[in-house]
Each structure stands twice: as structure tokens, then as C-alpha cells.
Amino acid sequence: MIVDCAHYRDGQRQHEAAMPVEQAADRCSQDGFVWLGLFEPKPEELERVRAAFGLHALAIEDAQTFHLRPKIERYEGGVELAVLRTARYDDEREEIDTGEISVFLGENFVITVRKGVASELHGARVRLEKHPELLRAGSASVLWAILDQMVDCYGPVVAELDRDIEQIEATVFSGSAAPTERIYFLRREVTDFYRAVHPLLAVLASQVQPNKWPAELLPYFRDVYDHLVLVNEEVAAQRDVLGTILEANIAVISVEQNKITLRQSATIERLTVLASIFLPLSFIVGFFGQNFDWLVTHVQSFTAFAVFGIGGLALSCLLLYLWFQRREDAPPM
């Protein structure tokens, strides 16, 4: 879908409404440059753009593929393709939404192909149109505007990730176990974000070389590069912190599991003692409760009952007491 298509000359947009693709391609032969913006175009739309602007087939194939890492490629005719990863933080879901922008950069045209909800470029276009001195520098000014907006959007993502990490860190280092799934999920998000940020350093480094772009644009590219370096350092530090938090959380869980195991062992020990006490007593009671002839004829007086019944129970209890005392006094193995 074509979002916008405009012809810029002498730092000004030449019309309000978006132009058709073929008309935009014809304007490339005039002064200035054309900026064509597409959002999740269909293959037939991309083929139409390729035919109109003479783009390389491999470049179009790259624009249709979702990449994990930013990159920049140069094709015949001096056309460069920059693949950029965008990101924004969703407060409701507490997750990072990612997107991708493919930028075809020619001498007289810029074609942007957006994928994902986090790839909005209207703000970059409006901001650039307010700076005609940059638009006069040519199509490279569009690449700067896109990179500048994208790196600026990285800042809030880093801040929200810091907030999430601080919450988990406070939980873990207070002695309570945090949900391990949450830590793994957050670490995975930070790793994916790092894959979007770190390779972009190489892309931007190639854009700040002397004589790469007009002199008036180079300071702006260097400013974006400096901001990206700071973001990259913060994201790398977040990965390290999450690794430490994960190890600490596992240690806290292990301590909790040890406490539970000790409580279970103490309970089992008490139950074992009770079972040890009642087992011989139950045997004696059960034995003398049988209707054998000898028991019936010999246990007929209170004295016999006291000797055989109560005496047997008392003797069992005494033997158990002596056995427990001997176990307590025995040296540990």
C-alpha cells in the first residue's frame, strides 16, 4: 500500500497529494528527489515499483523478507538498500513491538518499505519538511531523518526495560524468588533488541565517512551515531544485568527448595519416631488381643494382665527410649 509519494525540490514539497508511482518515477529525471513510502506492499506492488524505478530483483527480494539484523547493500546503478529494525514498547502488554524498514536510496529517489506496526515514518517526514536546508542536501536527508527518528524511539524502550529490570532486581535481591519465566522472557526481549541495535552501528559507521554525503549532513549523521553508541552500551549492560539476576534468582529458588526439603525431612523424622513407638505397642496389643486358649486360661487375674500386658508395653517403651538415646549419643557418620 502506498502511504505517501512526494517530489521535493529546493527544499520544498511540490504538491500536497500523493503521486502515482509512474509519475514519481518520471519526476526523478527532474531536479530534487522523490520519496515514495510503502507499508506492507503486496508482491505485485513491489514489482510495479521495481519496474518503474529500475531496482535490482535481489533488492526487492530483500525488502520482502523480515531480517533479524540491520544491514546495508549496494546494487548496480549506485542504489543502496538499508534494512533497519524498529522498536517500541507496549505498556499494556509490557512487551517490545518490532518492525522493519527497507530504504532504497538512489541519487534522485528514496523508497521506504515498512513492515510491522512499529515502523511509522510520518513523524520523520513531517520533521524533515520543516528543515528545507536539509532537504536541499538531497535524498540522503531522508535516510538521516529515518535513522534519527528510529534511534530516538530506542530511548523509551531502553527506559522501560530498565524499569522492568529494576522491579525484578528488587524482588530477587530482597530474598524473594521472582517468576523465572518473566526473567527468561525479558532477557529474550533484550537480546532481540540488542540484535536490532548492535549491527546498526556498522550501518551508521559507513554513513559518517568523510565525503560520503554532503558536508552539511555529516554532523547530523554523526549525532545519530553517537546516540546509537549510548543505546548499544545500555542494552549490552541490560543483558549482563539480566544474566546476573537470573543466576541470583536460581540461587534464591535453591535456598527456598532447601528450606522446604529441611521442613519435609523434619516432618518425616517426627512421623518415623511416632511409627517406631506405635509399631511394637500395636504388635503387643494385637498379640494379647487374640483368643488363644493359653492366653484365655493364663491371663485371668489383674497380676497376669499387669505382667504380660502393661509390663510388655512398658518394656517396649523402655527399649525404644534406650535405642533413641543411643542414636543421639552416637557420633555422626
Distances (CA, A) of 289 to 220, 283, 309, 311: 100, 10, 10, 15
- Give the whole-angstrom CA distance, residue 318 versus residue 321: 5
Q: Residue 309 carries which side chain, given as an amino acid letter?
A: G
pTM over 0.85: no
Beta strands 80-90 and 95-105 are antiparallel
For the sheet with 71-74, list strands across it. Answer: 12-13, 2-9, 33-39, 109-115, 95-105, 80-90, 71-74
- Give the whole-angstrom CA distance, residue 305 versus residue 298: 9
296 CB burial (10 A radius; 0-12, 13-18, 19+): exposed
Among 50, 47, 42, 99, which residue's Cα sits nearest to residue 75? 50
- Please report the DSSP string for 166-222 in residue order: HHHHHHHTTTPPPPHHHHHHHHHHHHHHHHHHHHHHHHHHTTSSTTSS-TTTHHHHH
Cβ neighbours for 228, distance < 8 A, ≥ 6 positions apart? 151, 154, 197, 200, 201, 204
- Give the whole-angstrom CA distance, residue 145 versus residue 131: 10
For the record, the C-alpha cell of 88 comes out as 517500541
pLDDT of residue 207: 85
Q: Residue 251 CB: number of other CB atoms within 10 A?
A: 12
SS3 sequence, 39-100?
Answer: ECCCHHHHHHHHHHHCCCHHHHHHHCCCCCCCEEEECHHHCEEEEEEEEEEECCCCEEEEEE
**Does residue 8 sit in helix, strand or coil?**
strand
pLDDT of residue 251: 78
For the record, the C-alpha cell of 57 comes out as 530483483
Enter the DSSP assignment of 228.
Answer: H
Arch. (CATH architecture) of 2-254: 2-Layer Sandwich (3.30)
Task: Enumerate the domain spans of the chain.
Answer: 2-254, 263-329
CB burial readout 66-87, b (16+ within 10 A) else e: ebeebbbeebeeebbbbbbbbb
* pLDDT, block means (10 residues), the chain with 333 residues: 87 84 82 90 90 89 83 87 90 86 92 85 89 90 93 92 88 72 87 91 87 86 94 93 84 78 83 73 68 66 69 74 70 55
- Give the whole-angstrom CA distance, residue 103 versus residue 207: 14
- Give the whole-angstrom CA distance, residue 70 versus residue 203: 7
